[in-house]
Amino acid sequence: MDIKGNILMERYELGRLLGQGTFAKVYYARNLTTGQSVAIKVIDKEKVLRVGLINQIKREISVMKRVRHPNILQLYEVMATKTKIYFALEYAKGGELFDKVANGKLKEQIARKYFQQLINAVDICHSRGVYHRDLKPENLLLDENENLKVSDFGLSALAESKHQDGLLHTTCGTPAYVAPEVITRRGYDGDKADVWSCGVILYVLLAGYLPFHDSNLVEMYRKIGKSEFRFPNWFQPEVRKLILRILDPNPVNRITIPKIKENSWFRKGNVTKEPSSDKASGSCSTYLAESQDLMKPSNMNAFDIISLSPGFDLTALFEEPRQKTEARLTICRRASVIITKLEEIGKCLGMKVSKREAGLLKLEAMQEGKKGILSINAEIFELTPSFHLVEVKKSNGDTLEYQKVLNEGLRPGLQDVIWNSQGGEQEQQEAPQQQQDQKS
């Protein structure tokens, strides 16, 4: 038995039922080792297989492994038996944001805080080639400190799911929040569709009701297609302008996330700290330290490290074998040295290299390939201060082109610092120190 009494796999003590749907139940639980509160999502494997939803479960696991951010609900681990799948998730004590809006509109500063956190989370998803496709207040949770957590990635798509035209084609999402180009079924950019949904959410937070609503679904879709809605009189001019730019029915003209972040209304009260000339002399160094801390690679916990071992990899329980679009390299060097090395390799390969937060670098080809611009994420995780794991993933483009860059560019370029590699065809390499020991 996987559950004895109220103990799950000798790891979690199950408590009250938090919610349930057709295929899953969610329980409050406590980690027996750490005492940490978690939510355990219990999925009936037979039911999801019977109705063909196993791909949705696979996608959710894959996506939640890929995205980590303070405003994204964290997946701690996945467990499985012959009949059940268990997700150990971050516990969001504050419940759904929907429950707050159901009681009426929010104050502008509160709505702005949630919108800032939403945009930051969605930006991270897009940087990792993930498109949520079902953003709505019901899928936005709150922790005990009233911080937003994006959840429910069951309908999300990965960049590699794009067709040859570089667009997504699956029509999905909640009608009132879906972008007009998704409704037309001619293909759409996942990032632009998510931005539209964020705009609808902002309107709902400030108004207390939906911008597009009609008992006749066809009529509602007509309103969405023309972006036909009205502002309540309490909406300020600044936020009206921003929402109009987000809810532009033409995705080509729709405002992007970087532009949203530059918007004056969005930036008001933003928690992002910036240096100020009128602060004490020590404040600049404090700011620099904080900035460096934000750029530090993520630390890997025990679950992360164990999950990298082939013997503990649960992916085979849910996923079909396929050509890998990721590789892991362990390197005995400081993060700053690894970043410099990756930048040098990227330039030699003729690729544009850009830095992201939390030890993430993005390498992009200058020219379009078979399936659009090849884009590769290289994320650095800290095992010890001088020992790191670098996870390389294709976020866009052709898989064969990615494999060529990986095996003919990145691996040879990092050969002198690689300890070993996982997720690829290359044999394990010995560290330089080991090679010296053998020579002596």
CA 255 to chain centre: 20
Q: Which two tokens stand for residue 102?
A: 């159901």
Same domain, 73 and 108: no
Same domain, 109 and 61: no
Output the domain CATH number for residue 10.
3.30.200.20
Cα-Cα-Cα-Cα dihedral sign, residues 129, 185, 318, 142: positive
The domain boundary residue, chosen from 68, 90, 112: 90
Beta strand segments in 72-158, E: 75-80, 84-90, 95-96, 130-131, 140-142, 148-150, 157-158
User: Could you tell me the residue range of the domain that residue 146 belongs to?
Assistant: 95-267
* Whole-number pLDDT of residue 373: 87
Instruction: Give the CA distances from residue 29 to residues 14, 22, 45, in Å, rounded to whole numbers and listed in that order.
Output: 4, 21, 21
Q: Which two tokens stand for residue 353?
A: 């290299």
Q: Which residues pair with 4 in a beta bridge?
A: 7
Angle made by CA atoms 112, 258, 340, in degrees to the nearest 5: 125
Same domain, 233 and 251: yes
Same domain, 375 and 415: yes
Q: Residue 215: inside a domain, yes or no?
A: yes
Same domain, 103 and 216: yes
Q: Residue 198: inside a domain, yes or no?
A: yes
Q: Does residue 134 have an active-site annotation? A: yes
Same domain, 80 and 102: no
Q: What's the pTM? A: 0.65
The total domain count for the chain is 3
* Whole-number pLDDT of residue 272: 45
Q: Are strands 298-299 and 372-384 parallel, antiparallel or unpaired?
A: parallel
Beta strand segments in 120-243, E: 130-131, 140-142, 148-150, 157-158
Q: Residue 272: inside a domain, yes or no?
A: no
Q: Residue 316: inside a domain, yes or no?
A: yes
CB 151 within 8 A of CB 74: no
Output the domain CATH number for residue 341.
3.30.310.80
- 11 contact partners, CB below 8 Å, separation of at least 6: 31, 32, 33, 79, 88
* Whole-number pLDDT of residue 319: 44
- Rg of the Cα atoms in the chain: 23
Same domain, 43 and 109: no
Same domain, 209 and 304: no
Q: Which two tokens stand for residue 367?
A: 């020219």
Separation of alpha carbons 439 and 15, rounded Å: 58
* Whole-number pLDDT of residue 289: 38
pLDDT in tens, the chain (440 residues): 466 668 998 899 999 999 887 788 999 999 999 999 999 999 988 888 888 788 788 888 888 888 889 999 999 999 988 889 999 999 999 999 999 998 899 999 999 999 999 999 999 999 988 999 999 999 999 999 999 999 988 888 887 777 767 788 787 888 999 999 999 878 889 999 999 999 999 999 999 999 998 889 999 999 999 999 999 999 999 999 999 999 999 999 999 999 999 999 999 876 544 333 333 333 333 333 333 444 456 555 544 554 444 444 444 544 444 556 678 888 878 888 888 888 889 888 999 998 766 678 889 998 888 888 898 988 888 777 777 888 888 888 888 899 989 888 888 888 777 765 444 433 333 334 444 444 44
Same domain, 126 and 253: yes
Separation of alpha carbons 72 and 65, rounded Å: 11
Separation of alpha carbons 227 and 222, rounded Å: 8
Same domain, 146 and 259: yes
CB 37 within 8 A of CB 28: yes
Find the catalytic residue in 44, 99, 123, 134.
Answer: 134
* Whole-number pLDDT of residue 161: 74
Same domain, 139 and 247: yes
Q: Residue 104: inside a domain, yes or no?
A: yes
Same domain, 169 and 304: no
